[in-house]
Amino acid sequence: GESVGLHLPTLSVQEGDNSIINCAYSNSASDYFIWYKQESGKGPQFIIDIRSNMDKRQGQRVTVLLNKTVKHLSLQIAATQPGDSAVYFCAENLYDDKIIFGKGTRLHILP
Amino acid sequence: EAGVVQSPRYKIIEKKQPVAFWCNPISGHNTLYWYLQNLGQGPELLIRYENEEAVDDSQLPKDRFSAERLKGVDSTLKIQPAELGDSAVYLCASSRRPRGSKQTNTEAFFGQGTRLTVV
């Protein structure tokens, strides 16, 4: 069916280490993917996006990788900081700006 | 630039009562979304507007939910009557796509949401 899901509901990472959050999507026709960060009591906040004609995109401390062959998306956060604690959602743009979210991964930062 | 503004932030009502949420999107954004988010879940799309037209309301429970976006700017989402299962966070988001463009891939900006508790 049309769904975007995440492999792990919770991820704990030592402060300063790199974090990798994974996402599997099921709709091969999706052409645009977005990672959002949601802190407690706030709405989702855009982190980084990637189009289907790319396999990697880098931002500030974040990198998104797209593997269309296995329909897999990942978000890498370098040198994880306490402020990175949040729930991370991947989302796919099915068509005409219909954005569908996965269930989310909660990232815990260990001191 | 002001972000997406939603009100109220919190609302507690008794079941069977009506409730309304208001959203002011980012200026110039022609696409507006209403999402529902249950605890521990990702946002689920309820309705999407392109300007004043509802282009996707397939997930909106039309027996009790209604929405409008008069003049293609602000929007209201209403529930009447509310049920216990409607307790959730209602998120509004907006994005900008040039008129007549078929380009997808537009980032949506979210408001802080309205947390509804039905008792």
Answer whether B4 touches A (CB < 8 Å): yes
Per-residue pLDDT at B71: 87
Q: Which of B21, B91, B104, B106 to mutate to test the interface with A (most CBs of A within 10 A)?
A: B104
**Between A5 and B74, residue with greater pLDDT:** B74
* B47, amino acid identity: I
How many Cβ atoms sit within 10 Å of the Cβ of residue B115?
16
Residue B3 confidence (pLDDT)? 93
pLDDT of B98 reads 62
Q: What percent of chain B has pLDDT over 70?
A: 92
pLDDT band at residue B62 under the 50/70/90 scheme: very high
Q: How far is A42 from chain B (nearest CA, A)?
A: 5
**How many percent of chain B have pLDDT more than 90?**
76
Per-residue pLDDT at A54: 95
Report phi then psi at B84, rounded to 5. Answer: -55, -40
CA distance B44 to chain A (A): 7
Both tokens of B68, joined, read: 């409008």
Strands A105-110 and A10-14: parallel
Confidence of residue B99 (pLDDT cuts 50, 70, 90): low
Cross-chain Cβ contact B33/A104 below 8 Å: no
> Given this model, what pLDDT does residue A1 score?
35
B44, B109, B113 member nearest A46 (Cβ): B109
* pLDDT of B102: 54
**pLDDT mean by block of 10 residues, chain A; 111 residues:** 56 96 88 93 93 94 96 96 96 79 91 88
Considering only alpha carbons, which residue of chain A is nearest residue B110? A43
- Is the CB of residue A93 less than 8 Å from the CB of residue A32? yes
**B41 vs A14 pLDDT, higher one:** A14
**Spatial distance between the Cα atoms of B21 and B115, rounded to a whole number of angstroms:** 10
Give the residue on A whose Cα is nearest the Cα of B107.
A46
